[in-house]
């Protein structure tokens, strides 16, 4: 059985390497994308400080993301590709780090308390499956180390799921 453990690290890269190791152990042997998304969002929300939302949006149609498992307040259910931070990440198939959401044109405010956001696409064989979305009530909460760490977690999640998803 998986046992979460507190991560004592001196750097963010070291923290994220340990978190990635914990995620690999948590998802080992399970291929269901919804179960793995639920556990991934719970682990991220529990282990990363200063978050008010951590979860998934899945690309269910070519032009629309649909809410998946998450931790935090209720969220927007559908987001058009190209709209908001999540839709922009899907449109460009790359991570989007927003230091202050009030400065991001077209930001979708599901929770008015959110001030910064990090969205990382879920990629498998070059295709975008959806995104991991993190929100914080703190301006400039996320940096490039967070982005690289969450990108590694997104790759672990995408690799864990059945290829026929």
pLDDT at 150: 98
For the segment 114-137, the average pLDDT, to the nearest whole number, is 95
Of residues 15 and 7, which shows the higher confidence score? 15
pLDDT at 104: 83
Does residue 74 surpass a pLDDT of 70?
yes
pLDDT at 5: 73
The alpha-helical segments, DSSP class H, found in the chain are 12-27, 33-47, 84-92, 144-160
How big is the chain, counted in residues?
Answer: 165
Dist CA 83 CA 70 (whole Å): 20
Dist CA 130 CA 59 (whole Å): 5
pLDDT at 6: 77
Does residue 19 surpass a pLDDT of 90?
yes
The answer to whether residues 69 and 79 touch, using CB atoms and an 8 Å cutoff, is: no
For the segment 113-118, the average pLDDT, to the nearest whole number, is 91
Of residues 164 and 155, which shows the higher confidence score? 155
The residues spanned by each domain of the chain are 12-160
pLDDT-based confidence at residue 112 (cuts at 50, 70, 90): confident
pLDDT at 165: 41
For the segment 60-65, the average pLDDT, to the nearest whole number, is 92
For the segment 125-140, the average pLDDT, to the nearest whole number, is 96
Sheet hosting strand 96-98, strand order edge to edge: 78-80, 64-72, 53-61, 127-136, 116-124, 96-98
Does residue 164 surpass a pLDDT of 70?
no
Dist CA 104 CA 20 (whole Å): 29
| Fold entry, domain 12-160 | Beta-Lactamase (3.30.450)
pLDDT at 3: 67
């Amino acid at each position: 059985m998986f046992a979460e453990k507190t991560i004592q690290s001196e750097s963010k890269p070291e923290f994220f390497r340990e978190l990635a190791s914990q995620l690999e152990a948590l998802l080992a042997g399970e291929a269901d994308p919804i179960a793995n998304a639920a556990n991934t969002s719970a682990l991220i929300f529990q282990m990363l400080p200063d978050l008010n939302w951590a979860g998934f949006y899945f690309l269910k149609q070519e032009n629309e993301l649909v809410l998946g498992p998450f931790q935090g307040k209720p969220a927007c259910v559908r987001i058009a590709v190209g709209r908001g931070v999540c839709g922009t990440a899907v449109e460009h198939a790359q991570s989007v780090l927003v230091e202050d959401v009030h400065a991001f044109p077209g930001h979708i405010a599901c929770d008015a308390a959110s001030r910064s956001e990090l969205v990382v696409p879920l990629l498998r064989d070059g295709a975008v499956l959806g995104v991991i979305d993190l929100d914080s009530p703190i301006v400039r909460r996320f940096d490039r180390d967070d982005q690289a760490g969450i990108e590694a977690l997104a790759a672990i999640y995408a690799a864990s799921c059945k290829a026929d998803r």
